[in-house]
Amino acid sequence: MQTPNQTQTQTPETGEEQTQVSQIYSDLVAVLRKYVRLRYNDIKELGDLSLMIENFIDVIKEKMSQTWYENHLDVKLWDFLIERLMWSGKAIFYCQKYVPFTGEFRKCVEERVDEILDDVLRDPKHDPIIDFLVDLKYWELEKLTFMELETVNTIINEVLDYCMDRGYGPDDTLEDCLITGDDA
């Protein structure tokens, strides 16, 4: 029997256990790749994405409020971007023939989103939330809801922890970290 002050030593994983664990993390990366457009497939890229997601969520909670965030977890980022553009004051110039904030106006904003975004981003006083939404769009995450984005970030952090625990750093690829067998 172990007393509370004694430390428990962990035994090293056997080759088979290590292979199974590595396969689980490989499966998690496969899930990530289904939702996230990874370009470099390295640990630094995942770390950068995780930090951006965390900062985005913090800015949303700060600007919109924690309660607003909790009540909108099922909103897709794309819909949130369109709403922000509709309220930016710039969309009205691109969709003049429509009554603001109607379905037709929204459809016009969706059709002219790139033009409106360019105009909004040129304004030095533009909404910082839009910057984050553009960054997330770059990763092709705009189709996710806030809740799904949090889930993706949780998976990213699990993979990062696994790789860093195995001694891999920012310059290593995910494939290097997830090699199965005897650390080939």
Q: pLDDT, tens digit, for every residue of 73-116?
A: 999 999 999 999 999 899 999 999 999 989 999 999 999 999 99
Assess if residue 81 is contained within a domain.
yes
Assess if residue 164 is contained within a domain.
yes
Four-point Cα dihedral 159, 163, 165, 169, nearest 10: -130
Per-residue pLDDT tens digits for 26-56: 999 999 999 999 999 999 999 999 999 999 9
The 10 Å Cβ neighbour count of residue 9 is: 5
Q: 67 pLDDT exceeds 80?
A: yes
Closest Cα partner for 46 from 144, 155, 138, 120? Answer: 155
Structural domain that includes position 139: 15-88+127-177
Q: Which pair of tokens denotes residue 40?
A: 């470099």
Average pLDDT over residues 139-158: 97
As for how many domains the chain has, the answer is: 1
Its sign, for the CA torsion 140, 133, 68, 46, is positive
Assess if residue 111 is contained within a domain.
no
Assess if residue 70 is contained within a domain.
yes
> Which of 10-19, 29-38, 57-66, 143-152 has the least mean pLDDT?
10-19
Q: What 3-state class would DSSP assign to 100?
A: coil
**pTM of the full predicted structure?**
0.84
Assess if residue 32 is contained within a domain.
yes
Average pLDDT, the chain: 89
Q: 183 pLDDT exceeds 90?
A: no
CA–CA separation, 115 and 88 (whole Å):
13
Assess if residue 138 is contained within a domain.
yes
Residue 131's alpha-carbon distances to 57, 63, 168, in angstroms, are: 13, 14, 31
Q: Burial of 91 by CB count in 10 Å (0-12 exposed, 13-18 middle, 19+ buried)?
A: buried
Assess if residue 98 is contained within a domain.
no
